[in-house]
Amino acid sequence: MIRSDEEIQSIRDACIIAATVLEQLANSVQEGMTTYDLDQIGRQAIKGLGAESACYNYRNGNHIFPAYTCISVNEEIVHGIGTLHRVIRAGDVVSIDVVIRYRGYIGDNARTVLIAPVADENQRLVEVTEQSLAYAISFARAGNRVGDISNAVERFVKRHNFGIVRDFVGHGVGATMHEAPQIPNFGRRGSGALLKPGMTLAIEPMINLGTPEIKMLDDGWTAVTADRKNSAHFEHTVLVTDEDPEILTIPKK
Ligand code: MF3
Ligand code: CO
């Protein structure tokens, strides 16, 4: 979808809030706290900025998401639900995904935080996932196609032999959380929808240390790696322009 200048400004505002909340959560994660505690910090931060969680009460079939943010630890890939039963431990890999609505528009972003002491393989996993996102964003240019973004992630990650999750994808975002086009983290160069100035896209590689295969937990939301090895997730909302892509989910200084 091509956004009007007014819509783009509204999406910008929403994205800055999403990024500010995510940064606050990333700075708050500590060994010993529960993922429920972290989610509650998110709830308050979102409220404090005059926004609302787009995750809370989000519906997928019969399942209604019960938390304010998604917190996915270690083998959890995405859509983890903060709970008093999960304590964050030394060495954990904590993925935090914040999606907020502000004045009718959505901002969506995620990142993975490492708790000390950091194992080398986790450090590499997180670096490669973050770098694959930066590389993919560099292809979010007018005249390119969705497949150029997808292929960039795939090409980057394959060199490092990690598992690329195929069951979840990036997406258009703006007035609702998930809009066309879908943006897989694998694909052919030059395939898929043409990118045009004014499109807002959530690009989000989800990368596993081991197998790309996933399993769903009984809660209907939490996706975990089939081999229970660790997973990382980075996401930005990006505006396609006439020039360089603009990353919208950067917190205000
Ligand atoms: N960034 C995630 C996504 O695009 C956020 C999902 S929120 C939830 O799917 F409600 F579905 F958990
Ligand atoms: Co998303």
Per-residue pLDDT, averaged over 147-160, amounts to 98
Q: What is the DSSP letter of 41?
A: H
Instruction: Kindly calculate the radius of gyration of the chain based on its CA atoms and give it in whole angstroms.
Output: 17
The model's pLDDT over 125-153, given as tens digits with 9 standing for 90+, comes to 999 999 999 999 999 999 999 999 999 99
Q: Which residues pair with 164 in a beta bridge?
A: 207
The model's pLDDT over 199-208, given as tens digits with 9 standing for 90+, comes to 999 999 999 9
User: Which two structure tokens, joined as six digits, stand for 221?
Assistant: 């939301």
Judge whether residue 5 has pLDDT over 80: yes
Collapsing DSSP states into helix, strand and coil, what is residue 247? strand
Amino acid 253: pLDDT = 74
Cβ atoms of residues 111 and 96 within 8 Å: yes
Amino acid 107: pLDDT = 98
34 CA distance to ligand 2 middle (Å): 23
Distance of CA 187 to the CA centre of its chain: 19
Distance of CA 40 to the CA centre of its chain: 19
Amino acid 252: pLDDT = 84
The kind and range of the H/E element at 31 are none
Distance CA 205, CA 30 (A): 24
Instruction: Supply the CATH classification number for the domain 5-247.
Output: 3.90.230.10
Give percent of the chain above pLDDT 90.
99
Which atom of ligand 1 lies nearest, measured to the CA of 170?
Answer: 4
pTM of this structure: 0.98
Amino acid 212: pLDDT = 98
9 CA distance to ligand 1 middle (Å): 22
Banded model confidence at residue 76, pLDDT cuts 50, 70, 90: very high
Residue ranges lining ligand 1, Cβ < 6 Å:
55, 58, 65, 70, 79, 97, 99, 108, 110, 177, 235
What mean pLDDT value characterizes the chain?
A: 98
202 CA distance to ligand 2 middle (Å): 6
Which of the listed residues 15, 52, 78 should we mutate to test ligand 1's pocket, taking the one with most ligand atoms within 8 A of CB? 78
Per-residue pLDDT, averaged over 34-46, amounts to 98
Which of the listed residues 58, 71, 77, 79 should we mutate to test ligand 1's pocket, taking the one with most ligand atoms within 8 A of CB? 79
Judge whether residue 81 has pLDDT over 80: yes
108 CA distance to ligand 1 middle (Å): 8
Amino acid 246: pLDDT = 98
Amino acid 156: pLDDT = 98
Judge whether residue 7 has pLDDT over 80: yes
236: nearest Cα among 59, 108, 89, 145: 108
Domain boundaries, the chain: 5-247
User: Which two structure tokens, joined as six digits, stand for 81?
Assistant: 């639900």
Query: Which regions of the chain does DSSP assign to beta strands (E)?
Result: 52-53, 59-60, 63-64, 70-73, 76-78, 93-102, 105-114, 163-164, 170-172, 179-183, 200-203, 206-208, 214-216, 223-225, 231-233, 236-239, 246-247
Judge whether residue 185 has pLDDT over 80: yes
71 CA distance to ligand 2 middle (Å): 13
User: Which two structure tokens, joined as six digits, stand for 234?
Assistant: 């980075």
> Vertex 156, ends 192 and 96: CA angle to 5°?
85
